[in-house]
Amino acid sequence: MIPTGLKYTKDHEWIKLEGKEAVVGITDHAQSALGDITFIELPQIGRSVKQSETISTVESVKAASDIYSPASGKVTAVNKGLADAPEVINKSPYDNGWIYRLSVDDAKELDKLMDAMAYQKYLKEQEA
């Protein structure tokens, strides 16, 4: 099930707004497409990023893929535990596998993203 209350990108990142901050991760679909994740290059805390800009790279046994920031803002925290246990992303993509937090410049940017229903539809279209 795709959790409601989050917003989704076409590149399979999710973002959850919590006040002025937001949490970002990759979706269950993304982790299963990548396969066993072996490494994640975490963003630098304090880095400013624009919406859709590359912020991190996640590496699995099959591929190394970029993660694009779903919103503009400044990185306030990263999930340091992933450095030693990147497989947590596979096990818990929406929860313990979060990647970074950022202070969001403009919450309106998130309006451009998909909600759970739209994302589910998008995935179905992709499969077809």
**CA distance linking residue 47 with residue 53, whole number of Å:** 12
Which residues, including other chains, have CB under 8 Å from residue 125's CB and lie 6 or more apart?
none
Is residue 60 within the footprint of another protein (CB under 8 A)?
yes
Is residue 83 within the footprint of another protein (CB under 8 A)?
no
Is residue 62 within the footprint of another protein (CB under 8 A)?
yes
Q: Which residues pair with 68 in a beta bridge?
A: 54
Question: Is 2 or 58 the residue whose CB approaches another protein more closely?
Answer: 58
Question: Is 51 or 60 the residue whose CB approaches another protein more closely?
Answer: 60
Is residue 107 within the footprint of another protein (CB under 8 A)?
no
Answer for the pair 14, 8: CB distance below 8 angstroms, yes or no.
yes
Is residue 64 within the footprint of another protein (CB under 8 A)?
yes
One residue of 32, 36, 39, 48 binding another protein per CB under 8 A = 39
Is residue 41 within the footprint of another protein (CB under 8 A)?
yes
Q: Which two tokens stand for residue 4?
A: 């409601």
Q: Which residue shows structure tokens 């229903």?
A: 117
Answer for the pair 79, 13: CB distance below 8 angstroms, yes or no.
no
Q: How many residues bind another protein (CB under 8 A)?
A: 9
Interacting residues with another protein (CB under 8 A) = 39, 41, 59-64, 66
